[in-house]
């Protein structure tokens, strides 16, 4: 009873603090908007954002399908709060409305004033507005959560907690990791209650929305964390098709999710049938282009179509070393095999890839480092994943912290200095060890086997080593000399997968500017909106190849958009 009262009091304080923050944010937005209007009057020129909204509204009023005769509806969600996410959601929503004659409705937070303006400029004028701060409703849910948590005495039980077949425990724990920066916990924390209430709150809201059986489609860019993951899973549970952007920023594809069995799949979980299609239809071209993309990465010259993460990890400022130079640096015997442990992002993507041998990314890292301490017949490199903040939050524990705590003093295990690039490793290592992430795809393209601790998006295609248990995983670590070399067929399959991921399933959108979402200050925002304005001014819907490809996906009920311009 005392514990429950304590939790309730702290929750009220937490919600009060949150409400103050939201009120301050709203006030700042309104004040900023007021002075923006004054500036527009003085200089007789609209600010870039307002100028885009006006031009965009006029354009979509001209090209819009005003004869939406169907009673069915499309929900266009917007919960990231970045225009780089909002615009693709609007593009896809408007296309789907055109293909289906369904009415498009916005789904966003009631505090997202900018998002609402953007959606309105696309002639979307109906909204479901999610209210974030309803203390009375949340207190009622908190009482339910307190009762539920009485039987939850471990992290595993919390993560496996489902309510109405929705993974509210896993979503809340993932949200906790992301927004506290703490990569793992070994006991129940107070904020678990708070985030579970938040997830429960949006779940109750979703139940009301999806009571309307006329909602047929959800458009979403984000399917992780609160509230996006709760909305995503509720949609699938209610047989609502979900269309999610795959990739970006300016060239992207579309993944269609159709049922709850897909709720823990990555956007880029391309089916074997698509890989086989690419292998049969494009074969040599796919192998060449996929291999070229990886080679450019490892030459520190990533192609424009490559991912932002690849461009950060492989850049020309990083130093390359030969095996002899690296062994001299670490005072290693050059005749010993070298394996590399590739760290994951510790606070992102912990639960998007299906089956895992270890609960979180950092838990995999800790168990792996403890195991290799005793494997001295191999020299081990530990490579940190490049880190970027999420909502201003960096990991509070880094790979380097874990390395020095577990491996310091073990001369056969070395942390790769940050100034040395991954381009060195392709000529050094005999095995890539990954918990997930792109390294398990990259290195097989370079004839280097990859041992993966789970089922990443490229698993199941025969070019990675996929142990089914922790014991089997550790056995591979202890016997890396017995791991066979990759066959030409395995190498080519990996390259074809790269081709599918970055070329066959992607196309440059005619209305989406190039931008870097990690650098989005005032100058970058002005550049983004000015470029967007220029693109919409010169847009001709009859020449929109992306729309035709998306229509082909929609009509043929395909899981992925296919680039028809190859």
Tell me the per-residue pLDDT of 234-255, one tens digit each, with 9 for 90 and over. Answer: 999 999 999 999 988 899 999 9
Among 15-19, 68-72, 321-325, 489-493, the least confident range: 68-72
Look at 422-436, 463-477, 529-543 and tell me which has the smallest mean pLDDT: 422-436
pLDDT value at position 70?
Answer: 80
Give residue 199's pLDDT: 98
Give the separation between CA 93 and CA 120, rounded to whole angstroms.
13
pLDDT band at 1 (very low <50, low <70, confident <90, very high): confident
Residues 128, 106: Cα–Cα separation, whole Å: 6
462 Cβ contact partners less than 8 Å away, ≥ 6 residues apart: 489, 490, 493
pLDDT tens by residue, 195-235: 999 999 999 999 999 998 899 999 998 999 999 999 999 99
Which residues fall within 8 angstroms of residue 211, CB to CB, at 6 or more apart? none
- The answer on pLDDT for 519 being more than 80 is no
pLDDT in tens, 431-485: 999 998 899 999 999 999 999 999 999 999 999 999 999 999 999 999 999 999 9
Rounded CA Rg of the chain: 25
Residue 2 pLDDT greater than 80, yes or no: no
Asked whether the CA dihedral 264, 268, 269, 273 is positive or negative, the reply is positive
User: What's the pLDDT score for residue 418?
Assistant: 85
Classify domain 272-504 at the CATH class level: alpha beta
- Burial-class residue 235 by CB neighbours within 10 Å (0-12, 13-18, 19+): buried
Spell out the domain ranges in the chain.
272-504
For the ranges 70-74, 316-320, 332-336, 404-408, the lowest mean pLDDT is seen at 316-320
Cβ neighbours of residue 242 under 8 Å, at least 6 residues apart? 217, 218, 219, 220, 223, 232, 235, 236, 256, 257, 258
pLDDT value for 64: 80
Residue 392 confidence class, pLDDT cut points 50, 70, 90: low
| Distance in angstroms (rounded) separating the CA atoms of residues 266 and 438 | 12
Residue 280 has pLDDT above 90, yes or no: yes
Given the structure tokens 């293909």, which residue do they identify? 99
Residue for token pair 């041992």: 451
The pLDDT score that the predictor gives to residue 45 is 67
Indicate the SS3 state at residue 433: strand
Question: Region 503-529: what's the mean pLDDT?
Answer: 90
Question: Residue 349: pLDDT band by 50, 70, 90 thresholds?
Answer: confident
Angle between helix 283-298 and helix 272-281 axes, rounded to 10 deg: 110
Residue 337 has pLDDT above 60, yes or no: yes
CB 35 within 8 A of CB 28: no
What pLDDT is attached to residue 117? 96
Rounded to whole angstroms, how far apart are CA atoms 438 and 345? 11
pLDDT, one tens digit per residue, over 38-61 is 766 676 567 899 999 999 999 999
Which of 280-284, 285-289, 352-356 is predicted with the least confidence, judged by mean pLDDT? 352-356
User: Number of helices and strands (H, E) in the chain?
Assistant: 20, 12
Q: What are phi and psi of 286, to 5 degrees?
A: -65, -45
Report yes or no: 475 and 469 within 8 Å, Cβ to Cβ: no
Tokens matching residue 501: 């991921």
Q: Which of 84 and 132 is assigned the larger pLDDT?
A: 84
Number of other residues whose CB lies within 10 A of the CB of residue 245: 25
d(CA 314, CA 352) in angstroms, rounded, equals: 24
pLDDT for the residue numbered 307: 66
């Amino acid at each position: 009873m005392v514990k429950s009262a304590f939790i309730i009091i702290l929750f009220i304080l937490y919600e009060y603090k949150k409400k103050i923050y939201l009120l301050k944010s709203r006030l700042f937005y309104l004040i900023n908007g007021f002075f923006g209007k004054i500036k527009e009057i003085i200089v007789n020129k609209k600010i870039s954002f307002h100028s885009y909204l006006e031009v965009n509204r006029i354009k979509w009023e001209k090209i819009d399908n005003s004869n939406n005769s169907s009673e069915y509806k499309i929900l266009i969600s917007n919960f990231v709060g970045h225009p780089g996410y909002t615009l693709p959601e609007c593009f896809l929503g408007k296309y789907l409305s055109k293909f289906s004659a369904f009415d498009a409705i916005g789904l966003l937070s009631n505090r997202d004033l900018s998002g609402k303006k953007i959606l309105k400029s696309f002639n979307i004028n109906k909204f479901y507005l999610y209210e974030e701060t309803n203390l009375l409703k949340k207190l009622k849910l908190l009482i339910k959560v307190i009762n539920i948590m009485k039987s939850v005495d471990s992290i595993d039980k919390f993560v496996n907690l489902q309510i109405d077949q929705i993974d509210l425990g896993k979503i809340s724990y993932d949200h906790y990791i992301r927004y506290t920066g703490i990569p793992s916990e070994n006991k129940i924390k107070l904020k678990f209650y708070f985030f579970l209430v938040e997830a429960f709150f949006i779940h109750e809201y979703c139940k009301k929305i999806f009571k309307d059986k006329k909602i047929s489609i959800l458009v979403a860019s984000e399917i992780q964390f609160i509230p996006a993951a709760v909305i995503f899973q509720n949609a699938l549970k209610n047989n609502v098709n979900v269309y999610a952007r795959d990739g970006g920023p300016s060239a992207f594809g579309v993944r269609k999710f159709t049922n709850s069995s897909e709720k823990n799949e990555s956007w880029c979980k391309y089916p074997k049938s698509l890989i086989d299609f690419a292998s049969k239809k494009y074969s040599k071209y796919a192998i060449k282009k996929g291999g070229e993309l990886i080679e450019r990465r490892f030459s520190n010259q990533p192609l424009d179509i490559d991912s932002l993460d690849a461009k950060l990890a492989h850049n020309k400022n990083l130093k390359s070393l030969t095996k002899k130079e690296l062994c001299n640096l670490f005072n290693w015997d050059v005749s010993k095999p070298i394996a590399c442990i590739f760290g994951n992002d510790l606070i992102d993507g912990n639960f998007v890839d299906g089956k895992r041998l270890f609960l979180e990314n950092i838990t995999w890292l800790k168990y792996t480092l403890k195991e290799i301490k005793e494997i001295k017949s191999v020299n081990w490199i530990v490579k940190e994943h490049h880190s970027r903040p999420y909502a201003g939050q960096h990991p509070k524990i880094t790979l380097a912290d874990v390395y020095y705590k577990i491996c310091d003093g073990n001369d056969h295990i070395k942390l790769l200095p940050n100034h040395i690039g991954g381009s060195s490793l392709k000529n050094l290592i005999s095995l890539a060890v990954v918990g997930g992430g792109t390294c398990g795809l990259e290195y097989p393209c370079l004839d280097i086997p990859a041992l993966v601790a789970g089922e990443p998006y490229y698993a199941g295609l025969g070019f990675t080593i996929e142990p089914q248990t922790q014991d089997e995983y550790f056995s591979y670590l202890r016997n890396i000399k017995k791991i066979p070399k990759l066959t030409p067929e395995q190498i080519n399959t990996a390259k074809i997968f790269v081709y599918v991921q970055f070329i066959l399933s992607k196309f440059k959108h005619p209305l989406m500017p190039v931008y870097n979402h990690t650098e989005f200050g005032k100058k970058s925002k002005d550049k983004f909106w000015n470029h967007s304005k220029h693109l919409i001014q010169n847009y001709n819907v009859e020449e929109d190849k992306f729309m035709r490809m998306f229509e082909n996906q929609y009509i043929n009920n395909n899981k992925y958009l296919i680039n028809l311009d190859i």
